[in-house]
Amino acid sequence: MLIFIVPLFSIISFHLIVNDKKVPTEFNVTLKQAATDLYNVDTIRTNFNPDTSEFTIEFQNHIREWSEIKCFINEYETEIEISECIVSFLIRVKEYVVNDSVGYRFKFNKKIKYEFKNHFMELYFDVSRSKLITSRFEDISIEFDCFNQICEFDNNWKLVELFSESNELVYPCQNIGPIPSNTSDTCELSKNVVTIS
């Protein structure tokens, strides 16, 4: 089954508790579809449960195939971590749902604006490589309201193979990708807003 991400916009609001005080936080999510996609998604639903910190994105097409990604988001003083992801998808030909966990953990530094371009990934769920998800991301931007560095990561459509059983930490511009460059400090205007676009 091929899954490609199409334009998606969602605002997820929740309150983070820091030192016994509620701090409002928002995620604005926008992903841009790659021009070469062969599989189109007609419907995208997103949901964030503030009680459990669970974020869900569901993709569905006109022939009743669908997939869903559920992850937990933890916010810390200087970082955001996305982990414990479960990927589910319906294989229409066989009419059954596959649920697999993904061991990868993703961290983002709140002082860095991330710009990802032209990423092509295959996520394998078994050793034989017969069960996989293929994703193409043309443009993803993750912007925190208070940042002083920019990480521009263009992968030039180079294939990246991922394996669901891996528990590797993916920390862009820290343990993978380019070194971030300094930019004007936006921290004085901070409003505790996170933008992912």
Cβ atoms of 32 and 164 closer than 8 Å: no
Cα angle value 122/4/73 (rounded, 5°)? 75
Report strand pairing: 112-124 vs 149-154.
Answer: parallel
Percent of the chain with pLDDT over 90: 14
Q: Give the model's pLDDT for residue 13.
A: 41
Tokens of 94: 């066989």
Residue ranges of domains in the chain, CATH in brackets: 10-192 (2.40.160)
Specify the pLDDT at position 66: 76
Pick 187 or 10 by higher pLDDT.
Answer: 187
pLDDT band at 16 (very low <50, low <70, confident <90, very high): very low
Whether the model pTM is above 0.85: no
- pLDDT, position 32: 45
| Summary mean pLDDT of the chain | 73
CA distance 59 to 77: 32
Determine phi and psi for 187, rounding to 5 degrees.
Answer: -65, -25
